[in-house]
C-alpha cells in the first residue's frame, strides 16, 4: 500500500488530505483513493466545494518514478483530473512545500490554486526525458502564456510562491491558515467553476513565442522530449482542448518508455545513491559551520565562493598578497553578479561579505571546522603546508586537499592524525560546477569521509566517493579518453574532426577544444615529470608536446589545437595540421581518414574500459557513481545515462572488441577491463 487520502469535512467543504509520506508522491493507490473521495464529495449534497491538500509539510512533490518503468497502473492521473474538472463543484488546490510534476498538474486541474509562502511549484518532467503528460503543456500556457510556458516546462524550473503568483501559476498566497483560506476560496467559487482547460491563452506576439521556442530548443539540445513539449505548448488554442490533451498523453507514454528517459531515470537514482557514499552503518558526519581555505588562486577563490554562497564563515589564506587581492576582487564581483541576477538576496550578499576573512597568516585557520588546501599541485609544497596547518588547526577539524592527481596518503603523512584527512576534489569553476569527488585515503576514518560527503551536500554539490588512485575517478577516465583521441590524430584524424564527432555524440565540447580552454601546459609539465618512469613500450603521442614547444598553450596564448580570432572563435589551423602530419610521418604511421562513427566508437571504448576498471579496482563504489562523475564533471551527455549505463545498451561483442582494440593500440600500460562482470554487477 503506497499512500491514502482522507476525506475530512470543514462545513460545506470536503477536504481531501493526500497522505503518502515522506513527500506524498503520486502513486496508483493515491490516484485510486482520490477518485473514490472525489466521487464521495460529488455525491454528498451537504458539500458544495472541495479542497486538495497534502498531509505533513508538502503537497505532492512528484510522482513515484519507479512506476515509470512498468505499464502505468490504473487509474492514471488524467482520469483523476477529469473527475475534478467534470465535478459540478469547484475545487481548490492548497499548496505547501512542493507541488511538482504530477502534483502541480493535479493543481492545474482545480479551479484555483492557493500557496503557502515558501512553496515551490513547477513541471520538472523534461529533466527526466519526458513531458508533463497530464495536461501540463495544455494548461500552463493558458495561465502564463506560451512563451513563458515553453521556458518553464523545457527548463523544468522550480518557481517560488511569490514568483508563481506574479506569473499566474497560483492565484493567491495564504497569509495564515492555508487549509482554512483554501476552504474559503473554494466556497467563494461555488456557482463560478472555471477550469483552466476552458480558458484561452493570453494574447501574445508570435515572434515572442518563436524566440522562446528557439531558445528552449537550443538549450535543450533539441532532444525529442524538448521538441515535443514545445510542439504541444504551441498547439494550445489551435486544436480542440480534448485533442491537445490526448496528443500530449500519447507522446508522454511513448517518451516514458524511451531509452533516453530510462537513461535519465538511471542518472537521477544514481545521483541520489552516490550522494550517500558508502554509508557504513552507525557512522555519522561531524558538525561544521566554518571553512578555512589555503590558497587563493583559481580553485581557492572558487571554493570560498561556494562556501560563502551557502552562508558559511570562510577564511582564505595565501602567501602571495597579489593573489589575495585578486581573490578579493573576484569574490566581490561574483557576489555582486549573483545579487544582480537574483541568486542572492541583498541580505545574503551582505552576510557573505561579512563572513569572508582574507589574509596571509596561517593562524587565521585556527578556528575553522573544515580546512581545504588549494595551493599549487606539488607534493612537497602540499606536505609542507599541511605540516604548518597541523600546528594551528583545531584537533577535531577536517583536513582536505583539493589535489587533482597527487597521492592523498602521501600528503596526509604530513599531519599527525591522517584519520581526519581526506581529498575534496572540486571542479573548476568551483562555485558553479556541481561535482565534488570525496576521496578517502588509506587511513581516513569513515567519519571523516561521511563529513566530507556532508560538506559536499551542504555546499549544494553532487558528491561522489572515490578511492585514492591516480586521477581518482574522473581525471583518470578522462586521461584514457584523451589518449584515445590523441592516437586518432596520429592515425589520420584532425582535431576539428575528432571534436565534431564527439560533440555529435552529445559531449558539451570536444576534447581538443577542452584542452585549449584549460591550457596545454599543465599536462605538459606532468608529462615531463613522468618522462623518466614512462614504459618505452607504451604508445606516446608527441603532438601536444610539439604544440607546447611552439608556444601554443591553448586559448590563453591565442593558439593551441586551434587558433583563435579576436572574437575567441576557434579556427582549424594549417600549422597544427603540419605538426600532426609530421608526427605521423615520424612514426611511420600511414594516415587514413576516420569517419565520425569510428571516432565515436574508439573514444567511447576508451572511456568505457577505464570506467569499468575504476569500478573493478574499487576506486568507485558502483557503476552508477562513474556515470554521475562523467555526466556532472566532464560533459558526457546526460541523456545517455553516463558511460557505463550507455555501455549496457550497446552490442556487447562490438564494444568488447573496441575496448580490446584500444588496449592493444596503447602498446603497453593499459589493462583490459572485465566489462561483462561490471555491467552485470
Ligand atoms: P593557482 O595557481 O591558481 O592557485 C594556487 C595558489 O596557491 C596561488 O594563489 C599561490 O599563491 C598559493 N600558494 C602557493 N604556495 C602557497 C603556500 N605555501 N601557502 C599559501 N598559499 C600558497 O592553482 P589552482 O588552479 O587554484 O589549483 C590549486 C589546486 O587545485 C592544485 O592542487 C590543482 O591541481 C587543484 N585543482 C585545480 C583545478 C583547476 O581546474 N584549476 C581543478 C581541480 C583541482
Question: Considering the domain boundaries, does residue 628 fall inside one?
Answer: yes
E strand spans, 468-561: none
- Spatial distance between the Cα atoms of 299 and 80, rounded to a whole number of angstroms: 51
Which of 470, 495, 520 corresponds to the end of one domain? 470
Q: Are strands 435-440 and 462-467 parallel, antiparallel or unpaired?
A: parallel
DSSP characters over 608-631: HHHHHHHHHTTSBSSHHHHHHHHH
- Spatial distance between the Cα atoms of 323 and 299, rounded to a whole number of angstroms: 12
* Candidate list 40, 42, 105, 210, residue with the active-site label: 105
Q: How far is CA 106 from the centre of its chain?
A: 27
CA 207 to ligand 1 center in whole angstroms: 48
With beta carbons less than 8 A apart as the criterion, state whether 178 and 94 touch.
Answer: yes
Specify whether 134 is located in the same domain as 188: yes
Which of 448, 470, 492 corresponds to the end of one domain? 470
**Rounded alpha-carbon distances, angstroms, from residue 314 to 275, 352, 354, 421, 448:** 24, 9, 9, 19, 20
Nearest atom (ligand 1) to Cα of 317 = 20
Q: Whose CA is nearest to atom 17 of ligand 1?
A: 319
Whether the bond between 429 and the residue before it is cis, its omega within 30 degrees of 0, is yes
Q: Give the CATH number of the domain where residue 388 resides.
A: 3.40.50.720
Q: Are strands 49-54 and 91-95 parallel, antiparallel or unpaired?
A: parallel
Specify whether 109 is located in the same domain as 173: yes
**Residue 334, φ and ψ in degrees, nearest 5:** -70, -40
With beta carbons less than 8 A apart as the criterion, state whether 45 and 52 touch.
Answer: no
Nearest atom (ligand 1) to Cα of 405 = 34
With beta carbons less than 8 A apart as the criterion, state whether 453 and 394 touch.
Answer: no
Which of 401, 435, 470 corresponds to the end of one domain? 470
Nearest atom (ligand 1) to Cα of 323 = 9
Rounded to the nearest 10 degrees, what angle do helices 146-155 and 206-219 cross at? 10
Specify whether 72 is located in the same domain as 103: yes
Could you tell me if the CB of 297 is within 6 A of ligand 1?
yes
Give how many domains the chain has, as a whole number: 3
**Residue 88, φ and ψ in degrees, nearest 5:** -75, -15
Pick from 79, 68, 53: nearest CA to 135? 79
Specify whether 492 is located in the same domain as 456: no
Q: How far is CA 337 from the centre of its chain?
A: 22
Alpha helices in 288-366 (DSSP H): 298-309, 321-340, 346-355
With beta carbons less than 8 A apart as the criterion, state whether 525 and 497 touch.
Answer: no
Known catalytic membership, residue 125: yes
- Spatial distance between the Cα atoms of 100 and 128, rounded to a whole number of angstroms: 13
Specify whether 479 is located in the same domain as 529: yes
* pLDDT score recorded for residue 59: 98
Q: How many CB atoms lie within 10 A of CB 442?
A: 11
Could you tell me if the CB of 318 is within 6 A of ligand 1?
yes
Specify whether 572 is located in the same domain as 505: yes
Specify whether 497 is located in the same domain as 457: no
Length of the chain as a residue count:
681
Nearest atom (ligand 1) to Cα of 327 = 9
Specify whether 49 is located in the same domain as 181: yes
Specify whether 207 is located in the same domain as 319: no
Could you tell me if the CB of 430 is within 6 A of ligand 1?
no
Known catalytic membership, residue 67: no
- Spatial distance between the Cα atoms of 69 and 322, rounded to a whole number of angstroms: 56
Specify whether 412 is located in the same domain as 491: no
**Strands of the 91-95 sheet, one edge to the other:** 4-10, 13-19, 49-54, 91-95, 112-115, 172-173
Look at the block and give the residue holding cell 497530464: 134
Question: Considering the domain boundaries, does residue 158 fall inside one?
Answer: yes
CA 384 to ligand 1 center in whole angstroms: 14
CA 567 to ligand 1 center in whole angstroms: 29
Could you tell me if the CB of 295 is within 6 A of ligand 1?
yes
Q: How many CB atoms lie within 10 A of CB 649?
A: 12
Best residue among 361, 374, 391, 461 to mutate for probing ligand 1's pocket (most ligand atoms within 8 Å of CB) is 374
For residue 10, what are the β-bridge partners? 13
CA 373 to ligand 1 center in whole angstroms: 8
CA 459 to ligand 1 center in whole angstroms: 20
Q: Give the CATH number of the domain where residue 503 resides.
A: 1.10.1040.50
E strand spans, 237-335: 290-294, 313-317
* pLDDT score recorded for residue 103: 97
- Spatial distance between the Cα atoms of 300 and 318, rounded to a whole number of angstroms: 9
CA 403 to ligand 1 center in whole angstroms: 9
- Domain housing 438: 290-470
- Spatial distance between the Cα atoms of 544 and 542, rounded to a whole number of angstroms: 6
| 3 state SS of 415 | coil
Average pLDDT of the chain, as a whole number: 96
Could you tell me if the CB of 293 is within 6 A of ligand 1?
no
With beta carbons less than 8 A apart as the criterion, state whether 193 and 88 touch.
Answer: yes
* Candidate list 10, 42, 125, 273, residue with the active-site label: 125
Question: Considering the domain boundaries, does residue 262 fall inside one?
Answer: no
- Spatial distance between the Cα atoms of 635 and 157, rounded to a whole number of angstroms: 21
For residue 563, what are the β-bridge partners? 559, 571
CA 295 to ligand 1 center in whole angstroms: 6
Specify whether 452 is located in the same domain as 483: no
Q: Whose CA is nearest to atom 1 of ligand 1?
A: 297
| 3 state SS of 665 | helix
CA 391 to ligand 1 center in whole angstroms: 21
Complex ipTM more than 0.95, yes or no: yes
Question: Considering the domain boundaries, does residue 24 fall inside one?
Answer: yes
285 burial level (CB within 10 Å; 0-12, 13-18, 19+): middle
* pLDDT score recorded for residue 1: 58
Could you tell me if the CB of 76 is within 6 A of ligand 1?
no
Question: Considering the domain boundaries, does residue 465 fall inside one?
Answer: yes
Q: In sequence order, which residues have a C-beta less than 8 Å from that of residue 593 and are 6 or more positions away?
A: 492, 493
Could you tell me if the CB of 376 is within 6 A of ligand 1?
yes
Percent of the chain surpassing pLDDT 90: 95
Specify whether 51 is located in the same domain as 165: yes
Question: Considering the domain boundaries, does residue 264 fall inside one?
Answer: no
SS3 content of the chain, % helix, strand, coil (to 5): 55, 15, 35
- For the chain, the farthest-separated pair of C-alpha atoms sits apart, in whole angstroms, at 92
Q: Whose CA is nearest to atom 44 of ligand 1?
A: 404
Question: Considering the domain boundaries, does residue 271 fall inside one?
Answer: no
Best residue among 375, 478, 523, 525 to mutate for probing ligand 1's pocket (most ligand atoms within 8 Å of CB) is 375
- Spatial distance between the Cα atoms of 584 and 490, rounded to a whole number of angstroms: 5
* pLDDT score recorded for residue 298: 95
Report pLDDT digits (tens) over 18-66.
999 999 999 999 999 999 999 999 999 999 999 999 999 999 998 888 8
Could you tell me if the CB of 377 is within 6 A of ligand 1?
yes
DSSP characters over 533-552: G--TTS----HHHHHHHTT-
Rounded to the nearest 10 degrees, what angle do helices 596-616 and 495-505 cross at? 70
Q: Give the CATH number of the domain where residue 90 resides.
A: 3.90.226.10
Q: Whose CA is nearest to atom 39 of ligand 1?
A: 428
Nearest atom (ligand 1) to Cα of 377 = 32
Could you tell me if the CB of 305 is within 6 A of ligand 1?
no
Residues in the chain where the model's pLDDT stays below 70:
1
Pick from 299, 429, 331, 314: nearest CA to 365? 314
Question: Considering the domain boundaries, does residue 104 fall inside one?
Answer: yes
Pick from 628, 633, 615: nearest CA to 673? 615
CA atoms within a 13 Å half-sphere pointing along the CA-CB vector of 372 = 33
Q: In sequence order, which residues have a C-beta less than 8 Å from that of residue 455 and are 6 or more positions away?
A: 288, 370, 398, 424
Q: Whose CA is nearest to atom 18 of ligand 1?
A: 385
With beta carbons less than 8 A apart as the criterion, state whether 170 and 120 touch.
Answer: no
Amino acid at each position: 500500500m503506497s499512500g491514502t487520502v482522507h476525506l475530512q469535512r470543514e462545513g460545506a467543504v470536503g477536504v481531501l488530505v493526500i497522505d503518502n509520506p515522506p513527500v506524498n508522491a503520486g502513486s496508483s493507490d493515491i490516484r485510486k483513493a482520490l477518485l473514490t473521495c472525489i466521487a464521495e464529495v460529488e455525491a454528498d449534497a451537504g458539500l458544495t466545494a472541495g479542497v486538495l491538500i497534502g498531509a505533513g509539510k508538502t503537497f505532492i512533490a512528484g510522482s513515484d518514478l519507479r512506476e515509470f518503468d512498468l505499464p502505468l497502473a490504473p487509474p492514471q492521473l488524467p482520469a483523476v483530473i477529469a473527475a475534478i474538472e467534470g465535478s459540478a463543484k469547484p475545487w481548490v488546490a492548497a499548496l505547501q512545500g512542493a507541488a511538482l510534476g504530477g502534483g502541480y498538474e493535479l493543481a492545474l486541474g482545480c479551479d484555483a490554486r492557493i500557496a503557502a509562502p515558501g512553496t515551490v511549484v513547477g513541471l520538472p518532467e523534461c529533466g527526466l526525458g519526458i513531458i508533463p503528460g497530464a495536461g501540463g503543456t495544455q494548461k500552463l500556457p493558458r495561465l502564463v502564456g506560451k512563451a513563458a510556458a515553453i521556458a518553464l516546462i523545457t527548463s523544468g524550473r522550480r518557481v517560488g510562491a511569490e514568483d508563481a503568483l506574479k506569473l499566474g501559476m497560483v492565484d493567491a498566497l495564504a497569509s495564515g491558515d492555508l487549509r482554512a483560506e483554501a476552504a474559503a476560496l473554494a466556497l467563494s467559487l461555488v456557482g463560478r467553476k472555471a477550469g483552466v482547460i476552458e480558458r484561452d491563452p493570453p494574447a501574445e506576439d508570435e515572434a515572442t513565442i518563436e524566440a522562446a521556442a528557439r531558445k528552449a530548443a537550443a538549450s535543450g539540445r533539441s532532444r525529442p522530449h524538448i521538441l515535443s513539449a514545445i510542439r504541444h505548448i504551441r498547439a494550445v488554442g489551435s486544436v480542440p482542448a480534448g485533442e491537445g490533451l490526448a496528443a500530449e498523453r500519447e507522446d508522454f507514454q511513448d517518451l516514458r518508455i524511451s531509452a533516453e528517459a530510462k537513461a535519465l531515470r538511471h542518472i537521477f537514482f544514481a545521483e541520489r545513491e552516490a550522494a550517500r557514499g558508502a554509508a557504513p552503518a552507525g557512522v555519522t558526519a561531524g558538525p561544521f559551520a566554518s571553512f578555512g581555505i589555503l590558497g587563493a588562486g583559481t580553485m581557492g577563490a572558487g571554493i570560498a565562493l561556494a562556501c560563502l554562497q551557502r552562508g558559511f564563515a570562510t577564511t582564505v589564506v595565501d602567501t602571495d598578497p597579489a593573489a589575495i587581492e585578486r581573490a578579493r576582487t573576484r569574490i566581490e564581483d561574483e557576489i555582486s553578479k549573483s545579487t544582480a541576477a537574483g541568486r542572492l538576496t541583498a541580505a545574503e550578499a551582505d552576510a557573505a561579505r561579512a563572513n569572508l576573512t582574507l589574509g596571509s597568516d596561517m593562524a587565521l585557520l585556527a578556528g575553522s571546522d573544515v580546512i581545504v588546501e588549494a595551493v599549487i599541485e606539488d607534493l612537497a609544497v602540499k606536505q609542507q603546508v599541511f605540516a604548518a596547518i597541523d600546528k594551528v588547526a583545531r584537533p577535531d577539524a577536517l583536513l582536505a586537499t583539493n589535489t587533482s592527481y597527487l597521492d592523498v596518503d602521501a600528503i596526509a603523512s604530513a599531519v599527525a592524525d591522517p584519520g581526519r584527512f581526506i581529498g575534496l576534489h572540486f571542479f573548476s569553476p568551483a562555485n558553479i560546477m556541481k561535482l565534488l569527488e570525496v576521496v578517502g585515503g588509506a587511513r581516513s576514518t569513515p567519519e571523516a569521509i561521511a563529513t566530507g560527503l556532508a560538506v559536499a551536500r551542504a555546499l549544494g554539490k553532487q558528491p561522489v566517493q572515490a578511492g585514492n588512485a591516480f586521477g581518482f575517478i574522473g581525471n583518470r577516465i578522462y586521461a584514457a579518453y584523451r589518449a584515445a583521441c590523441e592516437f586518432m590524430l596520429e592515425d589520420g584524424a584532425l582535431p576539428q574532426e575528432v571534436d565534431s564527432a564527439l560533440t555529435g555524440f552529445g559531449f558539451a565540447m570536444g576534447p581538443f577544444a577542452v584542452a585549449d580552454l584549460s591550457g596545454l601546459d599543465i599536462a605538459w609539465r606532468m608529462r615531463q615529470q613522468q618522462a623518466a618512469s614512462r614504459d618505452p613500450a607504451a604508445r606516446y603521442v608527441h603532438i601536444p608536446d610539439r604544440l607546447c614547444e611552439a608556444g601554443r598553450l591553448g586559448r590563453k596564448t591565442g593558439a593551441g589545437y586551434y587558433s583563435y580570432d579576436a572574437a575567441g572563435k576557434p579556427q582549424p589551423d594549417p600549422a597544427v595540421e603540419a605538426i600532426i602530419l609530421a608526427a605521423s610521418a615520424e612514426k611511420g604511421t600511414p594516415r587514413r581518414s576516420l569517419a565520425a562513427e569510428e571516432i565515436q566508437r574508439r573514444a567511447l571504448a576508451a572511456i568505457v574500459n577505464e570506467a569499468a576498471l575504476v569500478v573493478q579496482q574499487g576506486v568507485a563504489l558502483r557503476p552508477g557513481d562513474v556515470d554521475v562523475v562523467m555526466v556532472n564533471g566532464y560533459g558526457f551527455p546526460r541523456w545517455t545515462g553516463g558511460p557505463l549505463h550507455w555501455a549496457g545498451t550497446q552490442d556487447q561483442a562490438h564494444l568488447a572488441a573496441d575496448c580490446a582494440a584500444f588496449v592493444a593500440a596503447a602498446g603497453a600500460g593499459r589493462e583490459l577491463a572485465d566489462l561483462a562482470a561490471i555491467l552485470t554487477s
